[in-house]
Amino acid sequence: MNLLIVDDDTVEIQVISSIIKKEHLGIDRIFYAYRAAQAKKILEDEKIEIIICDIEMPGENGLEFLDYLQEIGHGASKIILTAYEEFEYATWAMRAEAMDYLLKPVEDEQLNKVLEKAVRIQTENRLKRQKLNEWEKQKFINREIFFEEIVNGIIEESGRVLQKEADLRKIGMSVNTVYLPVLFCLKKWPAFFEDYDQKLRYFIMKNIAYELFEELSEEVICLPIHHRGIGVLFCGEIDFNMIYKVSMEYMNRFHSYYGEYLCGYLGEKTDISGLKSEVQKLIQIEKNNLIHENKLIGKLEKEQEVLFEREIFRHLMISGKAKKAAGLIKNYLDIQKKNGCLDGRMLEKLQQQIIQEVYLVLYDAQTIVNEIFNDSKYQELRKKSLLTIEDFNRWLDWLLNETTAHMSEERDKNSPVGKAKRFIHENLDKEMKCKDVADAVYMDSDYLSKLFKKEAGMSLLEYIHKERIKLASKLLLITNQSVSDIAMQTGYTNASHFATAFKKETGVSPLEYRKQKENNQNVNCLFQ
């Protein structure tokens, strides 16, 4: 058990420490802080169960620190030890849930008696938490078994029988709930998975599923309903868009870990009596699937249409041209509006496709996506985005700008080198000299060249060349454009010059590079 003493008087801290009977009380470590800010840092890094705090300290005082602890719900036992006996202070301390208010100088026996009480309280709380965790864990296991037996037909599907079984097993949830089953399956296991038994394979897939899906509905239950995959049951209120998005993330994460693609099968919402038949439908759909992988097949997938030029959009995002990508979408919306085809349903479908495209671009760039999609600003804009075209455009601009920023190699956008890299990325389709870059960032060309080489480890011209080849490599893989077109889009006015530069950098010609990659892996499967 750990104790923290917060007091700005170093001598006082030494006195308090010397009279505490650590061994007798069962206190393992004592930490010291001379300011509230220092104490907060210790609380972030260490598990503290007892706090002894003075009141008068520079900056934030001890009572304000107690208010902070109460605000964040910290479970430590709090003891005030001060030279002030004002009633107002004592009242404040009690309101902030301090367990005792002691006056300096404190008697050894008095302090240790209060600490003994604090240790007892913390020990009891620890035991309660352990019992609660064990009970919650068992309740969760009971839920998994309960729903597994339902989909396997072991429990009768009538409402009365199900409710009786739920109450008997104490699963802690009503059967009068809406359920949505999703099945994730492989056509074959990765080679190393063959050495594992089915239970261990299920355990691996289940852990990834709970990590990603646990907050998407009131309750998420994973079930072993398929020998080559896993069933995920969403219970309660359901956001189809979020389930679609995170399901894609689940399948892509599994692929990044184990090298094989999953395919997802999205069911329909049902009550508990229709759960078994809905799962059986998904199993049959999976059995009939001989082609698709890394897709979520179901209601959303069936209704989805190609609404805009996705390949061009993807190219613009990869090139870091968020404004042009947004312009492509807005131009499409203007055309649909003039044709009288724009409605809420179409706008929602378009949004789903944009989210999928952005996610895949980020995934291909090995960029963390949660920072964008979990951002409170994104959630706020997304909530309003389908109300009006203006709201949709505000959401679109924010999403594409943030995506471009996250894909940038240089996080510090305000540094000279960061600005130079951004200018280079945005102008790879143009002829570019060192002076052009220096002028764009308002710096002397020689000075920028030295600074760039120091920070980037290569010259400006070498960096421009490598970025052109990197962009060309991506365009060769994700588009069907000719070598001449790609040469123009990466700043080469002569296709022959481009081919020579590309081969010098990669060891193969542009066409050989495209052919080799297509033979090694089906890179387009991510965008189907």
* Domain boundaries along the sequence of the chain: 2-126, 179-303, 310-407, 416-527
pTM: 0.38
Q: Give tens-digit pLDDT for 73-124.
A: 898 999 999 988 888 888 998 888 899 999 988 899 999 999 999 999 998 8
16: CB partners within 8 A, 6+ apart: 5, 7, 52, 81, 106, 111
- Residue 227 confidence (pLDDT): 78
Q: Give tens-digit pLDDT for 284-335.
A: 888 766 567 788 887 544 444 445 788 888 888 888 888 999 999 999 888 8
- Residue 306 confidence (pLDDT): 40
- Residue 297 confidence (pLDDT): 84
- Residue 318 confidence (pLDDT): 85
What CATH code would you report for 179-303? 3.30.70.270
What CATH code would you report for 416-527? 1.10.10.60
Query: Own/partner pairs for 349-353, CB < 8 Å, 24+ apart?
Result: 349/303, 349/304, 349/305, 349/307, 350/307, 350/308, 351/241, 351/385, 351/386, 351/392, 351/395, 352/241, 352/244, 352/300, 352/304, 353/304, 353/307, 353/308, 353/310
- Residue 287 confidence (pLDDT): 76
What CATH code would you report for 2-126? 3.40.50.2300
Q: What is the DSSP string of 476-510?
A: HHH----HHHHHHHTT-S-HHHHHHHHHHHHSS-H
pLDDT below 50 — which residues of the chain?
A: 300-306, 410-411, 522-528
